[in-house]
Amino acid sequence: MNSPTKFIVDPSDQGKRLDVFLSEKMKISRSQVLKMIKGGLVSLDNKAPKKAGDMLREGSLIEAKIGRVGENGLDKKEKINGDTIEINRKIKIVAETPDYVVVEKPAGMLVHPTEAGEANTLVDFLIEKYPEIKKVGDFEKPSAVFTKVATKHSSAFRRGKGVYLRPGIVHRLDKEASGLLVIARTQKMFDNLKKQFQDREIEKEYSVLVYGHIAKDHDLINFDIDRGAEGKMVSRPKIDLLKLKNVKKIQPGKESITEFWLEKELSRFSLLRVKIHTGRTHQIRVHMFAYGHPVVGDMLYFNKKLVKKTEQKLDRIFLHAQKLCFEDLAGEKVCFESKLPKELKKYLDNLKTH
């Protein structure tokens, strides 16, 4: 067992949940944090936490021991702050051709490293299995930070004074989300897919559970999305720009379009089939939050008034990319579908019995 990693709670993290705090600091999923807590690997002010959702106070000491958490824990090693933690990486190959591969990304996994240089991303897995994608993608001149990442990380590759930062990656899914992704294995397919995304010809559908009952069976959300002062994406309903009183209420940002259909209502929630026509960061999550129906399990865009202490807990966001369609190099349309992960299906089944 390695020495524990220690954290002191600063004022900006006061009131934050313990599992959310550790997930952010250690770059792992909340479910992985929960297993560590259940395995006795986490202490809060030198005591075992009562629950994963313990609220933090400024100045509190958190210690997390990195190591194996038991038979039902995780099974693949990942380096975090120089220590090793076991992390499960179940990546399903849905389709494999010489030009592309379609995979199901599990929740809790980054698609590619950020400037923090995380290990065990989807790109790391892909390069190990399909080494040819090392030289596929947009070739960029790196910033000083990314140059450092490139020299030490397997998922970034140098060539002269440039680097492939996201080899094979044409689109992304949030770390907390799961579902279908297409990865290019050749430069020709990468360019082909990239153009389809730019022309908005790719079809992407998601299964999303949100809070509340929605009055409409179908709607189109077209609120512009921008990055806010705190780094979060922000959006609000469009207003009459011609009225002087609305000048201060104008939401700047990029055009963003999300379409949804109501599939069914369950308890206090609505299950939606969502199609995005643009690809903005956190688009579905930001749009549903601005629409007044935030996504269940989202710890970034949520309304405290909608979350009840007695409700069933979900250790991830209820957002799954269930359908993906695009054209191959022959010009033929191909479509792929993915069933709900077990944890999301179980969550829905439990709602049906209440």
Contact 33, 22 (CB under 8 A): yes
Structure tokens at 153: 């990380």
Are 92-198 and 203-352 the same fold in CATH? yes
Q: How far apart are CA 342 and CA 294, in angstroms?
A: 22
CA distances from 205 to 157, 158, 232 (A): 32, 35, 23
CATH annotation of 5-82: 3.10.290.10
pLDDT the model gives residue 250:
56
Question: Known catalytic residue: 191?
Answer: no
Contact 26, 78 (CB under 8 A): no
Residue 3: pLDDT band (50, 70, 90) is low
Contact 283, 223 (CB under 8 A): no
Choice among 124, 174, 298, 315 that is catalytic: 174
Q: What is the largest CA-CA distance in the chain?
A: 64
Domain residue ranges in the chain? 5-82, 92-198, 203-352
Q: How many residues does the chain have?
A: 354
Average of pLDDT values for 103-126?
A: 82
- CATH number, domain 203-352, options 1.20.200.10, 1.10.3720.10, 3.40.640.10, 3.30.2350.10: 3.30.2350.10
Verdict on whether the full-model pTM lies above 0.75: no
* CA of residue 55 relative to chain centroid, distance: 23
- Residue 23 scores a pLDDT above 80: yes
What is the phi/psi pair of residue 269, to 5°?
-125, 165
Which tens digit of pLDDT belongs to each residue from 152-170?
A: 444 455 544 556 668 899 9
Structure tokens at 59: 């100045």
Average of pLDDT values for 220-229?
A: 88
CATH annotation of 92-198: 3.30.2350.10
Q: What is the mean pLDDT of the chain?
A: 82
- Residue 121 scores a pLDDT above 80: yes
| Neighbouring-strand partners of residue 55 | 17
How much of the chain exceeds pLDDT 90, in percent? 44
Average of pLDDT values for 83-97?
A: 68
